[in-house]
Amino acid sequence: MTTRKASQRLAVVVFVVMLLVVVSVVPWRRGIIYSGGADAVVVGKAVIAILGLGAAVLVHSTARVRGTTGGRSLTLLATIIIVSALGALSTGDADAALVLVVRLIIASATVVLIVRTAPPLVVLSALLAAMGVVSAFTSITGLTSGLTEGRLAGGLPEMAPNVLAGLAGPPILGLAWSMVSNGIKLWNWPPFVVLLVIVVATGSRTSLLVGALGLLLVLLHAKRLPTSTTIASIIAVPVLVALFALTDTIREALARGQNVDEIATLSSRTVAWEAVLNTPLDTWSKWIGVGLAAKTVGVQERFRDVQVLDSSWVSIIAQAGIIGTVLLAVWVLFTCIDSVRNRSLRPITSPLLVLILIRSFTENGLIESSATFVLFLAIALTLEGRSRYPGHAIPPDRYLLAQPLPHTSASTTKGASTSAQN
């Protein structure tokens, strides 16, 4: 088998595994918070997750070339999980938390095996492609909700509009980097447009604004734009200005029928945030949390006494306390530093991290069995200085991310990626 065919086969296999992972971690039901027990959905997701892990084990064990991963990310993740598990045990209700911990471990193990099996760009390309495929499929099956509710939501599996936007956003940045690297091709601009329409149709303000920032970062990282991309960018500017100035399309997507005061207060979120932050310092819950099953918090409001936690950072405070939050902050900080220092991967990892981390303040998913977590873990592992994959450059016209790694055996700088070092 030629090197090109072997690379293509590896990319397809990795995509299939990542597709199983994404399907197993995305929500299958809207408005349902897991509180323990097993039903058809829980069992179905578990079966798919185990299939993904089994496929990753098979691919890794039969791979001719295997890489290694650094231990920092896995150590921090394991410690956060242990802290949250202790918090769950301290409450005396650890059944649901245990199931969620197992889900997280299975997803993490699958990602680790794949990162050790394929070059960084193949891993990220496959994961972003899987997220794009799932978001497109669930959007098609959820078109009815978009027509009746005013905001596009996932149909099969069921997803809230914000969750769908979070799933479709990262592949947009991957496709944008492909167009910045190799120009606009027949295979990259149609999915880019489709996914962009999906995000706009969801009405997710955070995804729209942060996505725009991510696209700007992709452009800023480009050393020289291909002619086709330059022309498209020049045409896009007046079109966007016209859409904003002459129509209400963008403004309606951002406002969603709310006035400025309603948008600015974020009252439903801040009520939950205040309740978590006001936990007394002299309690175990403040320091080690109450477990990963904590998705809501008790509040004293006129029409409700429970509020959903809509922030990854507030959630981790509730789930793993101050200790878990500090560990997560350290992990995020080191990953961002690695991204800035990595000259080969930072043109795509930095925009993706900006998208993930800004959304983490208003959306859940950074530390839980979710597509956001899977993407963050994959990025963190590929960026670690001690991660190595002795692979060859991937043909630049074959995959979602079209920036091949330099074909050299030595690192150009500390933390910079090459074909032998991520």
Q: Among residues 368, 308, 267, 253, which one has the least CA distance to residue 32?
A: 308
Distance CA 376, CA 394 (A): 22
Distance CA 147, CA 253 (A): 14
What tokens appear for 258 in the block?
């709310």
Are the CB atoms for 155 and 140 separated by under 8 Å?
yes
Q: What is the DSSP letter of 420?
A: S
Are the CB atoms for 401 and 348 separated by under 8 Å?
yes
DSSP 99-138: HHHHHHHHHHHHHHHHHTTS-HHHHHHHHHHHHHHHHHHH
87, 103, 31, 143 alpha-carbon torsion, rounded to 10°: 150
Q: Find out whether the peptide bond into 157 is cis, omega within 30 degrees of 0.
A: yes
Domain boundaries, the chain: 3-383
Distance CA 146, CA 163 (A): 14
State residue 268's pLDDT score.
Answer: 64
- Strand partners for 154: 159
What tokens appear for 154 in the block?
């996932």
State residue 211's pLDDT score.
Answer: 93
pLDDT over 90 percentage in the chain: 54
**Helices 161-182 and 227-246: angle between axes, nearest 10 degrees:** 140
Q: Cβ contacts of residue 93 below 8 Å, gap of 6+?
A: 291, 293
Tell me the pLDDT band of 144, cut-offs 50, 70 and 90: confident
Distance CA 268, CA 190 (A): 37
Are the CB atoms for 310 and 272 separated by under 8 Å?
yes
Q: Cβ contacts of residue 122 below 8 Å, gap of 6+?
A: 7, 10, 11, 14, 394, 399
Tell me the pLDDT band of 415, cut-offs 50, 70 and 90: very low
Q: Return the SS3 of 306.
A: strand
State residue 127's pLDDT score.
Answer: 97
In tens, the pLDDT along 5-26 reads 878 889 999 999 999 999 999 9
pTM reported for the whole predicted model:
0.88
**Which amino acid belongs to residue 299?**
V
Tell me the pLDDT band of 222, cut-offs 50, 70 and 90: confident
End-to-end CA distance of the chain: 26
- Strand partners for 306: 298
The H or E element spanning position 56 is helix 40-62
Q: What is the DSSP letter of 224?
A: S
User: Which of 104-118, 252-266, 388-402 has the highest mean predicted lDDT (pLDDT)?
Assistant: 104-118
Q: Among residues 314, 334, 413, 322, which one has the least CA distance to residue 381?
A: 334
Which residue has better confidence, 37 or 294?
294
What tokens appear for 401 in the block?
């991310």
Rounded average pLDDT over 215-225? 88
In tens, the pLDDT along 260-309 reads 444 444 556 678 888 888 889 989 899 999 999 998 888 776 667 788 88
Q: What is the DSSP letter of 247?
A: -
Q: Among residues 146, 147, 164, 143, which one has the least CA distance to residue 22?
A: 164
**Which amino acid belongs to residue 389?**
Y
Rounded average pLDDT over 373-398? 75
Distance CA 369, CA 365 (A): 7
**Which amino acid belongs to residue 370?**
S
In tens, the pLDDT along 87-112 reads 999 887 788 899 999 999 999 999 99
Tell me the pLDDT band of 392, cut-offs 50, 70 and 90: very low
What tokens appear for 22 in the block?
């994404």
Q: Return the SS3 of 307.
A: strand
State residue 153's pLDDT score.
Answer: 92
Are the CB atoms for 396 and 403 separated by under 8 Å?
yes
Q: Among residues 326, 265, 318, which one has the least CA distance to residue 293?
A: 318
